[in-house]
Amino acid sequence: MAPTATTTTAAAEQQQQHPRKAVGLAAHDASGHLSPIRISRRNTGDDDVAVKVLYCGICHSDLHTIKNDWRNAIYPVVPGHEIAGVVTEVGKNVAGLAAGDRVGVGCMVNACRACESCQEGAENYCARVVLTYNSRDADGAVTRGGYSDLVVADARFVVRFPDSLPLDAGAPLLCAGATVYAPMRRHGLGAPGSHVGVIGLGGLGHVAVKFARAFGAAKVTVISTSPGKREEALERLGADAFVLSTDAAEMKAAVGTMHGIINTASAAASLHPYLALLKPHGKMILLGIPNKPLQVSAFALIGGGKTLAGSCMASISETQEMLDFAAEHGVAADVEVVGAGEVNKAMERLAKGDVRYRFVIDVGNTIKAD
């Protein structure tokens, strides 16, 4: 995983001596301001795929990282792990991908490939997983993300985009989509006939609503602290019901009605009132990362035999499965496409929750070498 202390620009750049030149956007300090930067990429190895980046989604974790909120930024940070583009070159050992193919690179670009998690196809839980940016690869180089015109990645961490899935609206699925899809499938949330709750209606939450509908859930309820989200949930996204979590009467009416809840919120609020919405043996899956410890009563779980679980990202096979399912069922993110010159403003808006529901950078047309 990424180091636990901020690394200076000079120290980070000493690790970046790859031969291939690229350009991108980087934050150089905790102000988070993104500006053009020249970076290097490795040459395409025997097992690698070179990708011309066309679009890259802006994830909330990008904002946390460039601001050093998690105290692990390795400046300069080139963010971006929702990367969609086309293959320009493949290594001699690569099968199944060729120049011109539409592909994506998500949250990770390497793992140890030897541990139990890797052997089971759960690379996202490898203790030595290499994240797509702000991490260190096996050669010690700091990884740079998709806010750049070019990425080179091991083919095992590259997924194919179905032809019917647009690259711009599909890019956010590589993080937001995979992060909700994998645990919903794994825990049976959204099974036909079930009632699913979705806490939070943002980048992850809006996609969770769409996947729950596509899975065949009998009822999908959005749970939010924002009354303004009611119309969006019901009219725009097709949810069946909306519960305002600050309204005691609405919460009481929903007690004991849900088979499962996917919790995308990052607020450090008590989980007790939300766990009460579950039926006996119901499950709540945590995806958000609050900056303070969660408040959980043991009785809230024991009394109904309920399960509280967490999930992080998705494996490569789950990500590919998700993209194929999304294409088949017409699931894509609701996006606002921005150019490179608008990214800092987009970050400001993201911090205020002013996006419906994912910003996507038009990398192919606005981040180019001179």
Query: Along the 370 residues of the chain, how does pLDDT read in single tens digits?
Result: 333 334 444 444 444 567 899 999 999 999 999 999 999 999 999 999 999 999 999 999 999 999 999 999 999 999 999 999 999 999 999 999 999 999 999 999 999 999 999 999 999 999 999 999 999 998 899 999 999 999 999 999 999 999 999 999 999 999 999 999 999 999 999 999 999 999 999 999 999 999 999 999 999 999 999 999 999 999 999 999 999 999 999 999 999 999 999 999 988 788 999 999 999 999 999 998 887 888 898 999 999 999 999 999 999 999 999 999 999 999 999 999 999 999 999 999 999 999 999 999 999 999 988 7
> Residue 299 in contact with residue 277, Cβ under 8 Å?
no
In terms of Cα–Cα distance, which of 302, 38, 309, 32 is closest to 149? 38
Cβ atoms < 10 Å from Cβ of 249: 8
**CA pair distance 264, 267, nearest whole angstrom:** 9
Unique residue bearing structure tokens 């209606």: 201
Q: How far is residue 61's CA from residue 106's CA, in Å, rounded to a whole number?
A: 13
End-to-end CA distance of the chain: 34
For 288, half-sphere exposure in the C-beta direction (CA atoms, 13 angstrom radius) is: 24
Rounded to 5°, angle at Cα 282 from 280 and 284: 140
* Pair 366, 341: CB distance under 8 Å: yes
Residues 35 and 217: their CA atoms lie apart, in Å, by 44
CATH fold, domain 5-174+334-362, is: Quinone Oxidoreductase; Chain A, domain 1 (3.90.180)
**What is the CATH number assigned to the segment(s) 176-310?**
3.40.50.720
Prediction pTM value: 0.93
CB atoms within 10 A of CB 61: 18
Judged by phi (left if over 0) then psi (alpha if -120 to 50, else beta), residue 280 lies in beta
Q: For residue 73, what pLDDT is reported?
A: 98
Domain with CATH 3.90.180.10 in the chain: 5-174+334-362
Whether the Cβ atoms of residue 189 and residue 285 lie closer than 8 Å to each other: yes
Rounded to the nearest 5 percent, the helix, strand and coil shares of the chain are 30, 30, 45
- CA 42 distance to own-chain centroid: 25
Nearest of 323, 349, 351, 322 to residue 336 by alpha carbon: 349
In the chain, CATH 3.40.50.720 covers: 176-310
Give whole-number Cα distances, 304 to 207, 284, 285, 310, in Å. Answer: 28, 12, 16, 19
